[in-house]
Amino acid sequence: MAIDFKYYLRGSNIALIEKDKTTSVYKSPSAAVTNGLMLEYSALPTIPDDETDTIDLAEELCLASVEYLKAKFAENEMNYEKRNFHMNEFKRLVFTYQKNRFGGMRRVMDKAPYAIV
Provide the terminal-to-terminal Cα distance of the chain, rounded to the nearest Å: 73
- What pLDDT digit, counting tens, does each position of 44-75 carry? 666 777 888 887 788 888 999 999 999 999 99
Centre a 10 Å sphere on the Cβ of residue 11 and count the other Cβ atoms it contains.
Answer: 6
Measure the CA–CA gap between 52 and 63, rounded to whole angstroms. Answer: 19
Look at residue 47 in the predicted model and tell me its pLDDT: 75
- Rounded mean pLDDT, 85-103: 86
Measure the CA–CA gap between 54 and 39, rounded to whole angstroms. Answer: 28
Look at residue 30 in the predicted model and tell me its pLDDT: 73
Between strands 5-10 and 26-27, the pairing is unpaired
Selection from 10, 30, 33 nearest residue 20 by Cα: 30
- What pLDDT digit, counting tens, does each position of 4-40 carry? 778 777 766 777 888 888 888 888 877 676 776 666 6
Burial class of residue 86, CB neighbours in 10 A (0-12, 13-18, 19+)? buried
- pLDDT greater at residue 108 or residue 83: 83
Say whether pLDDT at 90 is over 80: yes
